[in-house]
């Protein structure tokens, strides 16, 4: 039994476990014939799902990592005489006719991790699929050379694919030859993803500039871009607010750029008449110290509510300002709330044909913006966009 336990511990801790199957029931009165176990992501935690195979139905039970081992030991002791353990490095057949005399037979691996669904329910069809080597993901350490997503980077992998899904929804607003700016690109996983998707998957002719305050990040990203031969992807050091480039960008991306950095990015985007803006604001602190309204004092006196409300008001005012400037604006969920609370994206698209028309919606947005600012006694940075 000790060898079996060691095998389980090792395959679970090293995340090489693909699938476990228990069969050959010890006792004919056992109602289920087989139990299988596979890793699943539950609320983003690597967990294990046992499936009980009854005569005419299957049922499921989920386990935390630490409980999976004791569950397997119990199954082998009490219910089954055989277990097959499929790992990335090998298959193991455990014969347990006598519990105190286990026989373990090792053979070459027969299953691949990408063949097993990791998600709790249906596996998603990702734009960049798990199992298909993708150069920038390999370079950034998210995938192995063989194209397998490394478990601990699965969140990042899903965020990248979610971002590309959002981009695919607005693709009709972008010209085939487009210039994009990613303000506050950070380590640029999403910038690389954007370049890869538009230039290689969709065969567009897209130039991207990533801008960030941090020199080391910019050097790192330029090095990777050059190693990957992403020749039209350039990273520059600078502050969004002081960015001087006057040439028009067709799309502006700004994901998690803090506080008013988002406003400066939106202002630039509108001035360039960018057709697409994708912005995930964060750390909306600006209005916290300004917001004041006597009627709502009972809410605002609670710091945490005031903070959350300030963030919502900030983003609502941003959305109104973009609408006033002719954009169709929607607030969408970027990643699921269980990953991060910073998950609201402002998606704004502008139809070139409607650009110079003053619509009723634009007028109404302008009115609403003024009313809200006066009601809450605020003057946000986005007001600079007159």
Ligand X SMILES: C[S@@+](CC[C@H](N)C(=O)[O-])C[C@H]1O[C@@H](n2cnc3c(N)ncnc32)[C@H](O)[C@@H]1O
Binding region for ligand X (CB under 6 A): 184-186, 189-190, 211-214, 217, 239-241, 255-258, 261
Rounded CA-CA distance 96/23 in Å is 11
Shortest Å, Cβ 11 to ligand X: 32
DSSP label at residue 103: E
Q: Measured from the CB of residue 140, what is the shortest distance to ligand X in angstroms?
A: 11
Task: Give long-range contacts, CB 8 A cutoff, 24+ apart: 284-288.
Answer: 284/259, 284/310, 284/311, 284/314, 284/315, 285/259, 285/310, 286/259, 286/260, 286/310, 286/314, 286/380, 286/381, 287/313, 287/314, 287/376, 287/378, 287/380
CB 93 within 8 A of CB 84: yes
Cβ closest to ligand X, residue 8 vs residue 278? 278
Q: How near is the Cβ of 337 to ligand X at its closest, in Å?
A: 16
Contact 22, 75 (CB under 8 A): yes
Comparing CA positions, the residue from 337, 301, 330, 334 lying closest to residue 316 is 330
The nearer residue to ligand X, 184 or 281, going by C-beta atoms, is: 184
Rounded least distance, CB 1 to ligand X, Å:
46
**Closer residue to ligand X in complex, CB, 129/186:** 186
Q: Which is nearer to ligand X, 212 or 250 (CB)?
A: 212
- Map tokens 């003024």 to a residue: 370
Closer to ligand X by CB, 208 or 211: give it: 211
Among residues 50 and 185, whose Cβ is nearest to ligand X?
A: 185
Least Å distance, CB 145 to ligand X, is 24
In angstroms, what is the minimal distance from the CB of 156 to ligand X?
9
Confirm if 251 and 348 have CB atoms less than 8 A apart.
no
Q: Which is nearer to ligand X, 246 or 357 (CB)?
A: 246
Nearest-approach distance from CB 132 to ligand X, in angstroms = 22
Closest approach of ligand X to the CB of residue 189, in Å: 6
Sheet holding 276-282, edge to edge: 233-237, 205-212, 177-183, 251-258, 276-282, 344-349, 328-333
CA atoms within 13 A on the CB side of 79: 18
Asked if residue 252 lies in contact with residue 268, where contact means CB atoms within 8 angstroms, the answer is yes
**Cβ atoms within 10 Å, residue 289:** 10
Q: Can you spell out the DSSP letters for 239-279?
A: -GGG----S--SEEEEEEEETTHHHHHHHHHHHTT-SEEEE
Please classify residue 205 by burial: count the beta carbons closer than 10 Å to its beta carbon, then call 0-12 exposed, 13-18 middle and 19+ buried.
exposed
**Smaller CB distance to ligand X: residue 189 or 196?**
189
Q: How far apart are CA 347 and CA 140, in angstroms?
A: 27
Least distance in Å: CB of 154 to ligand X?
Answer: 16
Structure tokens at 384: 């600079």
Taking the least distance from each CB to ligand X, the nearer of 120 and 342 is 342
């Amino acid at each position: 039994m000790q060898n079996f336990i060691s095998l389980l511990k090792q395959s679970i801790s090293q995340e090489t476990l693909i699938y476990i199957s228990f069969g050959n029931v010890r006792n004919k009165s056992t109602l289920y014939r087989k139990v299988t176990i596979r890793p699943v992501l539950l609320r983003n935690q690597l967990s294990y799902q046992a499936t009980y195979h009854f005569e005419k139905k299957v049922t499921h039970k989920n386990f935390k990592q630490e409980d999976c081992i004791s569950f397997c030991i119990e199954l082998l002791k009490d219910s089954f005489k055989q277990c097959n353990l499929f790992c990335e490095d090998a298959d193991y057949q455990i014969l347990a006719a006598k519990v105190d005399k286990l026989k373990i037979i090792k053979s070459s691996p027969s299953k691949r991790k990408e063949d097993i669904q990791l998600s709790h329910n249906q596996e998603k069809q990702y734009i960049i699929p798990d199992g298909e080597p993708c150069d920038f993901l390999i370079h950034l350490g998210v995938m192995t050379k063989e194209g397998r997503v490394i478990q601990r980077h699965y969140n990042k992998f899903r965020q990248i694919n979610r971002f590309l899904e959002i981009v695919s929804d607005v693709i009709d607003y972008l010209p085939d030859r487009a210039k994009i700016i990613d303000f506050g690109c950070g380590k640029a996983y999403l910038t690389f993803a954007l370049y890869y998707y538009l230039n290689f998957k969709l065969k567009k002719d897209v130039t991207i500039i990533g801008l960030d305050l941090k020199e080391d990040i910019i050097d790192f990203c330029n090095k990777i871009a050059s190693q990957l031969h992403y020749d039209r992807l350039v990273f520059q050091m600078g502050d969004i607010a002081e960015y001087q480039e006057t040439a028009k960008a067709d799309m502006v991306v700004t994901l998690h750029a803090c506080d008013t950095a988002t406003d400066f990015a939106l202002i630039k985007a509108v001035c360039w008449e960018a057709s697409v803006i994708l912005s995930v604001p964060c750390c909306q602190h600006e209005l916290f110290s300004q917001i004041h309204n006597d009627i709502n004092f009972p809410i605002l006196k609670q710091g945490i509510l005031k903070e959350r409300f300030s963030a919502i008001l900030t983003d609502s005012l941003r959305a109104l300002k973009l609408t006033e400037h002719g954009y169709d604006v929607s607030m969408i969920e970027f990643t699921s709330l269980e990953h991060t609370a910073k998950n609201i994206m402002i998606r704004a698209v502008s139809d070139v044909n409607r650009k110079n028309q003053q619509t009723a919606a634009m007028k109404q947005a302008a009115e609403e913006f003024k009313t809200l600012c006066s009601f809450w006694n605020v003057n946000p940075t986005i007001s600079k966009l007159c």
